[in-house]
Structure 1
Amino acid sequence: MEVIKKYKQQLLFHLILNLTVAVFVTYASYYHIPVFSLKDFGFYFGHFLALQFSVFGFLYFLTINKYIFRICFPVLFVLFSGIAFWVYTQDIGISQGIIQVSLETRMDIALDLISLPFICYLFASVVAVYFILTYYNRQKTDPLKSPLLLLAIIGAASFSFVESYRYGTFNRRLPYNVLVSAREYFGQNNLALKSIDKNVKAETDSLNVIFILGESVRADHLQLNGYPRNTNPLLSKRKNILSFPNAYTPLTYTAISVPQILTNASLSDDYSKAKYSLIDVLNHAHIATNWIGNQTPEKSYEIFIDQSQYKKIVDPLHSELSFQKDYDEKLLPIFKECFRPYQNQFTTIHMMGSHWWYETRYPESFRKFRPVIRSKHVASNTAEEMINSYDNTIVYLDYFINEVIAFVEKQNSNTVLIYLADHGEILGEDNQWLHAQNSKASENPALLIWYSDGFEKKYGGIVANLKSRQNNKTDLDFFFNSIIYFYKIQGIPYDRKKVIF
């Protein structure tokens, strides 16, 4: 009792400090999470408390030196509060791409975002800082001799422990995601690229390649590959479309799969040697390159976007962590504007696809299979609900690809469309879900190829080759090598054995 009495003021101060930080900053990361039951609420409330406990540890060490606390805390608190406002009101998931957009947006555009509610929120945070500092100045106990010091050490250490056990548990929540994303933005890209000889050239003429880069779509959930559900009601009726059911990659998350697809790296590459960027090669071969994306760029593949001659990211402020993310169909009008049917062109369309949380990836009209998931907490959904929602994203994908084809086939062009998912998705195998885990289910991505009548007329032999290789195991190494061969690019080495054309 004497100990509690002695440190009562300090205990109250840290309780108030952490409640203030929780309300103004930390809880914003949980505000939009869909929960369905008391069990869901309990899970995320426990997650929130664990996160705040780790924050408490760092806050405590910040209070040890009065000068550091008086200078750093007001600046950090107001900054994080300002960021949390947008997370609260717009469900913005903080990522490296968000940091980039924030720092590189023109000042006049940024000023348009300042509103009365935003100003009021910042004013409230400043008032909170004033009261926190006033209370702090009354503290007389030595933080280094307080029993709270041991709790602070445990709290701060819990961050490293939890992150080493499951990366992203805390790093994807405020306030940590701001620091992690800023580090990624200012950090160097580890992908070293080879310089390209100016004599590189393409010997094809008017060849249009549309590369739809999908997300988390597994091959065995396509009706085209024998899946019993009608997940491809439109594409299954089309001619000139081929599906490759045995595509393979061991790289089961976007950050490592996309750089492999768009370079001459092998599936087992350690990237100790510099690689050729496919986009850079195409540029040097005077092939027009476009990148239209609905994913907030990550550092690992941002270089390919930057190298593209035309680039457009839709809804850049909402990442895959947001529950208000625009649907992929927003990419369609942009594609139609930049498509040039009678020239050498390579267009990448990067979809959000079937990325978790599935219910934010398609409109209500595509909710064909029911019941669907209702909670962000995977364990609170049944296997039937998870698979139904996932399959609905495939039905929406079917619509999206069909829309692209329907537009292109009217152009009488020499065009090939390649749809390739960066990896598959785990749907309950071995009691696992989603991806970025060791599972054969996530190593079998969907691969589709459609060709125009004009292309078949000009390249009948290539079409025959494609048909003969449909059921072969197709490593994703094929992509770089096949595109180089396809455009007949001279001056760049490639592995002819990997070419599927």
Structure 2
Amino acid sequence: MSILKNNWKITHFALLMSFLNFLFFHLPFFTFVVDKVDYKSFAGVTLIVSLVIIMLVANFFVFYLFFFLSRVVGKSLLVLFFIINAIAVYFVNTYGVIIDESMIGNVLNTNYAESSSFFSIKLIVYLILLGIVPSIFIIKAKIINVTWKKFLITSSVTLVFMLALAYANASNWLWIDKNSKTLGGLAMPWSYSVNLSLFYIHKHQKNEKEILLPNATIKDNKKSVIVLVIGESARRQNFSLYGYKKNTNPLLSKTPNLFHFDATSCATYTTAGVKCILEHTSTDELYEILPNYLYRNNVEVIWRTTNWGEPPIHIKNYQNTDALMPNCKGDGCKFDEILLSGLKEQILASTKNKILIVLHTSTSHGPSYSKKYPAQFEVFKPVCNSVELGNCSQTDLINAYDNTIVYTDYILHQLIENLKELKEYNSAMIFVSDHGESLGEKNLYMHGVPMSIAPKEQYEIPFLVWLSDSSKQLKPNKMLSQNNVFHSVLNFLGIQSPIYNEQMNIFK
């Protein structure tokens, strides 16, 4: 308490805040650096020491500037930084995430149901010890300002020192540039503050106006329905259809006319993965996506979802959990089975011959894998029940995750059985995941690692196709991508379009 009552010169206080920020929140940053450089060599030691100094000095300079211009604003920003830093470093330490622009997008597209699943006592401990306690000190500290002359001298010396240190490390610029995305995603508070600004700048640029695709034409009157199931965090290597040793596909493995292909995702997070599945080509532009395009061209389009993060959907029949729940009965309504409730009846009630249905699932989304399926699907035991995945054995964690794949197998089988009853329709189902998932490999959990450094677990995905007896045949496809979906759906439904790409179509 005596420390709290002391008067602090602005220079000393900014130095102390920079040191505490470094001490509390940058272990992941320097763990990454030490892992990537030869710390036993002179060059490696020089780089590490230089990064420590530059981080301390750079943060001092910014904090010093804040407090000189306004102590109230400076304190407010610093309190905000320490609280958000505490939360951010918890997720970095617990799940191995990197707070880059794509991760900011994940956070902003997270709803309450998903975010609440991350709650843990450990998170509260981080928040209190690393966020709230320092914030009390910051609020109570009395800060003595300096004259403009002293401010200008201190600022100038600091800037010259940083430039000199940067120049002295010219030989390391290439290494820093190569790893800049990861380094920037682990430097607090700049990881989220800078990337938050970049996210909104890029979002504004992309969403200024949806670029319409050229008009399409329906070539025939054959009754056709195709169901696109967008999986969530389903990684290919845990499907027994692909040779996984545990039988996670007991039903689909016995289903006639079901085919599986190797595939990769465009990204390791939901918003980009779903966008890629629905667009005609991988691009940063916001082109008209598949459901909007077909709906505008007189195809019946139904979107059902227990998830979020898709691009803007402009159709009549958009149904989320709240819309589906009143007509759903049974315990399965608490899970992704709700997506099948009344679906067959909705198809039969359509007055159109061409129907696209999109089911956006959430079955394998972490960290609470064990809560994503009904009790009878807990085939593999014991399971991890903690949201702090690093506290579970990898065996328990993978068991819980594998049970979500068993449940996915059941849902897809039930969907296929429903489609088989639609005798008047040529029907098909495509299941493709938005991205994969890390389950402790290389000490990484869940997903969201930048594609440039992402492990294969986060982008190798399943691509399953089922066809009714009277519908099309498949090409001898080998490796597919999410962009194959758009053109394959157009082909199956008999849609003629100037942007159709036969090479991206999986059907004969």
User: Given the two structures, how large is their TM-score scaled by the length of structure 2?
Assistant: 0.59
Out of 242, 264, 276, the residue aligned to residue 280 of structure 2 is 264
Q: Which amino acid letter does the alignment assign opposite residue 496 of structure 1?
A: E
Kept in 2, the 8 Å contact 1:21–1:77? The answer is no
Structure 1 residues 182 and 407: alpha-carbon distance in aligned structure 2, compared to 1, 3 A threshold: same
What CA distance in whole angstroms lies between the structure 1 residues aligned with 2:366 and 2:460? 17
Question: Is 2:242 the counterpart of 1:225?
Answer: yes
With over 3 angstroms needed to count, the CA separation of the structure-2 counterparts of 1:440 and 1:361, relative to structure 1, is same
- What is the correspondence of 1:372-387 to structure 2 with a 5 Å cutoff? 386=394
Alignment of 1:43-442 (within 5 A): 54=55, 57-64=58-65, 67-70=68-71, 72-77=73-78, 79-80=80-81, 95-96=104-105, 98-99=107-108, 128-132=137-141, 134-137=142-145, 143-144=154-155, 150=161, 164-165=178-179, 167-171=181-185, 175=189, 176-187=191-202, 188-190=204-206, 194-197=211-214, 200-201=217-218, 203=220, 207-215=224-232, 217-237=234-254, 239-240=255-256, 242-245=258-261, 247-249=262-264, 251=266, 253-254=268-269, 258-265=274-281, 271=283, 277-286=289-298, 287-290=300-303, 292=305, 294=307, 297=309, 302-303=310-311, 305-307=312-314, 309=316, 330-333=335-338, 336=341, 340-342=346-348, 343=350, 344-351=354-361, 366=378, 368=380, 386=394, 389-390=397-398, 392-403=400-411, 405-406=413-414, 409-410=417-418, 412-413=421-422, 414=425, 415-422=427-434, 436=451, 437=453
- Counterpart Cα distance in 1 of 2:364 and 2:56: 33
Q: CA deviation at 1:445?
A: 2.6
Which residue in the other structure is 2:463 paired with?
A: 447
Amino acid at match of 1:292: T
* 2:397–2:439 contact (8 Å) kept in structure 1: no
> Against the structure 1 CA distance between its residues 184 and 145, is the aligned structure 2 distance closer, same or farther, given a 3 Å change threshold?
closer
Paired residue total = 418
Whole-angstrom CA distance in 1 between matches of 2:405 and 2:416: 17
Q: Is the 8 A contact 2:25 2:86 kept in 1?
A: no
SS at match of 1:283: helix
Report if the CA contact (8 A) 2:369-2:404 is conserved.
no
SS of the residue 1:485 aligns to: helix
State the AA in 2 paired with 1:95: I
Contact kept in structure 2, 1:234 and 1:399, CA below 8 Å: no
Cα 1:205–1:78 change in 2 (3 A) is farther
**Number of the residue aligned with 1:40:** none
Q: Which residue of 2 aligns with 1:37?
A: none
Q: In the alignment, residue 448 of structure 1 is paired with which amino acid?
A: L
SS where residue 461 of structure 2 aligns? coil
Q: Which amino acid aligns with 1:17?
A: M
- Shift of residue 481, structure 1, vs aligned partner: 1.3
Deviation at 1:420, TM superposition (A): 1.1
Residue of structure 2 equivalent to 1:319: none
Query: 2 CA distance for matches of 1:174 and 1:310?
Result: 43
Pair 1:358–1:337, CA change in 2 (3 A): same
Does the 8 A contact of 1:77 with 1:125 survive in 2? no
Q: Which residue of 1 aligns with 2:17?
A: 17
Q: Distance in 1 between matches of 2:464 and 2:26?
A: 40
Contact 1:328–1:353 (CA under 8 A) maintained in structure 2? no
Q: Secondary structure in 1 aligned to 2:258?
A: strand
- One-letter amino acid of the structure 2 residue matched with residue 400 of structure 1: T
**Which string of whole-angstrom CA distances, capped at 9 and with x for unpartnered residues, describes residues 189-234 of structure 1?**
5599642455644745664433222355454542223333212234
1:224-283 deviation line (CA, Å, top 9, x unaligned):
23333212234334x3451324x3448453466544432222xxx6x4999553233212
Distance across 2 between alignment mates of 1:399 and 1:21: 44
- Percentage of matched positions with identical amino acids: 16
SS of the equivalent of 2:430 reads strand
Q: 1:493 to 1:66 in 2, by over 3 A?
A: closer
> Shift of the alpha carbon at 1:161?
7.5
Aligned equivalent of 2:35: none
3-state SS of paired residue (1:450): strand
- SS of aligned partner of 1:135: strand
For the structure 1 residues 284 and 359, does the alpha-carbon distance in structure 2 shift closer, same or farther, using more than 3 Å as the test? closer
Extract unaligned runs of 5+ from structure 2. 1-7, 29-47, 112-126, 323-331
Write the deviation string for residues 392-432 of structure 1: whole angstroms up to 9, x where unpaired.
Answer: 52431231341354267358445533111345568999999
